[in-house]
């Protein structure tokens, strides 16, 4: 086991609150998962509970559509209670500025989208500075690649288009680059997180003619980051300094046969996660963390154990991995049908804000915290998970 010195985040294990705010395809309903899970009401309780569990770094998000209710006018009332709660609880937050949603009056493909997102990001930076946060972690755009596919090609979420994935991707890259410049002008010590899906696609062994197409599709996972750092589409303005911290979102269904079935863990064609991590590291050489991982039901502890084992193996191979984020950290209604998704460490909140802990996952978390503690400087003693 190789020691990695001091960690980038306040805790190696992070917790992420689902903060999607897109519109879904079936009925164009605007989702607000922060409100649906009552995290907006009980943010202070939520942060304090995670801190007691040894999780002191949180992924959370703003809801742009609530902040900018009229063009150029900002109402921070949906953000300030959460920001103040994080400061009162003494936790570190990676703030997502865009988690799939934007104001209804705004055309994603327009020049105004870039300008208004940049102004919004600048406003967030000012609010953070006013509250004494001078070196925040900010994620400008969550999963540019996913939004490009889901919104621009599959019409699964806004803007509900087909054949415009590349247009969506380029527009989100433009907005990301401009917003980073704007935030750095106000808070030059900001650290930026770019989270992207980590996937693997392979051809069916019985169809060798699909290998080239499968590999080309697999390599699309790098395109957004390549645009940000200027390797691809340099006319967008990307450059190496725009890639800071890379987050990789990895779930148990992130591998599949090209135009075929999902590859589940244990399948002979399943690629070990450590190899995916190493490929990103060798390609970009930036600090990385698993910015989302989790699954539903009783498999939560075993999946988490697998991911942590692969992270440890990749670290032993020299990959600079700085954390693993349980995502979502709290149960929430499903995107498509509002069903109860049992996918978190914490349950839904009761009327007093209490969330029950899913003890099998909490026990696995404690084991992994102890296992990884030796890789970094000692962390404060953990409290019981009750």
Per-residue pLDDT tens over the stretch 339-365: 889 999 999 999 999 999 999 999 999
Mean pLDDT across 302-316? 98
- Can you give the C-alpha Rg of the chain in angstroms? 20
Return the half-sphere exposure (C-beta side, CA atoms, 13 A cut-off) of residue 308: 23
- 4 pLDDT band (50/70/90 cuts)? low
Is the pLDDT reported for residue 5 higher than 80? no
Is the pLDDT reported for residue 381 higher than 80? no
- 6 pLDDT band (50/70/90 cuts)? low
> Are 76 and 127 spatial neighbours (Cβ–Cβ below 8 Å)?
yes
Task: Please say whether the dihedral angle defined by the alpha carbons of residues 266, 269, 275 and 277, taken in this order, is positive or negative.
Answer: negative
**Nearest Cα to 229, choosing from 196, 190, 197, 271?**
196
13-373 domain in CATH 3.30.70.360?
A: no
CA 173, chain centre distance (Å): 16
- Give the pLDDT of residue 336: 85
Average pLDDT value over all residues in the chain: 95
Q: How far apart are CA 37 and CA 259, in angstroms?
A: 35
Go through 5-23 and write b for each residue having 16 or more CB atoms within 10 A of its CB, e for each that does not: eebbbbbbbbbbbbbbbbb
- pLDDT over 70, % of the chain: 96
- pLDDT over 90, % of the chain: 92
Per-residue pLDDT tens over the stretch 107-153: 999 999 999 999 999 999 999 999 999 999 999 999 999 999 999 99
Is the pLDDT reported for residue 386 higher than 60? no
Residue bearing tokens 């390549």: 226
Task: Pull the structure tokens for residue 154.
Answer: 């599959």
Map residue 109 onto helix, strand or coil.
coil
pTM above 0.75, yes or no: yes
**Nearest Cα to 138, choosing from 61, 86, 75, 83?**
61
Per-residue pLDDT tens over the stretch 40-85: 999 999 999 999 999 999 999 999 999 999 999 999 999 999 999 9
Nearest 10 degrees: Cα torsion 377, 378, 383, 386: 50
Per-residue pLDDT tens over the stretch 207-260: 999 999 999 999 999 999 999 999 999 999 999 999 999 999 999 999 999 999
Cα angle 14, 16, 21; round to 5: 160
> Are 175 and 119 spatial neighbours (Cβ–Cβ below 8 Å)?
no
Per-residue pLDDT tens over the stretch 247-306: 999 999 999 999 999 999 999 999 999 999 999 999 999 999 999 999 999 999 999 999
Q: How far apart are CA 224 and CA 17, in angstroms?
A: 24
Task: Pull the structure tokens for residue 136.
Answer: 């925040």
Residue bearing tokens 């900002």: 74
93: which residues sit within 8 A by CB, 6+ positions away?
57, 58, 59, 60, 83, 86, 136, 137
CB atoms within 10 A of CB 177: 21
């Amino acid at each position: 086991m190789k020691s990695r010195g001091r960690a980038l985040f306040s805790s190696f294990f992070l917790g992420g609150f689902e903060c999607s705010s897109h519109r879904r395809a079936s009925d164009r309903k605007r989702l607000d998962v922060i409100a649906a899970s009552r995290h907006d009401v009980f943010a202070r309780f939520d942060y304090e509970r995670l801190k007691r569990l040894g999780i002191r770094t949180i992924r959370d998000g703003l809801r742009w559509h609530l902040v900018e209710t009229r063009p150029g006018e900002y109402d921070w009332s949906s953000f300030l209670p959460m920001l103040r709660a994080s400061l009162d609880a003494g936790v570190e937050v990676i703030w997502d500025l865009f988690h799939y949603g934007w104001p209804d009056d705004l055309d994603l493909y327009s020049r105004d989208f870039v300008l208004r997102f940049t102004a919004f990001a600048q406003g967030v930076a000012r609010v953070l500075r006013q509250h004494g946060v001078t070196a925040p972690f900010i994620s400008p755009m969550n999963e540019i690649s996913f939004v490009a596919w889901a919104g621009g090609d599959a019409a699964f979420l806004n803007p509900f288009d087909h054949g415009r994935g590349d247009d969506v991707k380029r527009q989100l890259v433009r907005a990301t680059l401009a917003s980073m410049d704007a935030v750095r002008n106000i808070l030059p010590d900001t650290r930026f997180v770019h989270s992207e899906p980590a996937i693997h696609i392979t051809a069916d062994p019985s169809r060798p003619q699909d290998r080239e197409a499968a590999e080309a599709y697999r390599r699309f996972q790098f395109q957004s980051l390549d645009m940000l750092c200027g390797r691809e589409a340099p006319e967008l303005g990307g450059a190496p300094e725009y890639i800071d911290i890379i987050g990789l979102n990895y779930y148990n269904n992130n591998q599949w046969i090209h135009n075929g079935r999902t590859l589940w863990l244990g399948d002979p064609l399943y690629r070990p996660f450590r190899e995916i991590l190493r490929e990103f590291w060798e390609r970009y050489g930036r600090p990385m963390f698993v910015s989302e991982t989790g699954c539903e039901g009783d498999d939560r502890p075993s999946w988490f154990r697998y991911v942590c084992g692969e992270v440890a193996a990749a670290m032993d191979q020299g990959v600079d991995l700085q954390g693993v984020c349980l995502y979502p950290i709290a149960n929430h209604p499903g995107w498509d049908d509002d069903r109860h998704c049992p996918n978190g460490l914490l349950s839904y909140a009761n009327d007093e804000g209490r969330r029950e802990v899913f003890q099998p996952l909490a026990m696995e978390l404690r084991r992994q915290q102890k296992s990884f503690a030796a890789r970094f400087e000692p962390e404060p003693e953990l409290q019981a998970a009750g």
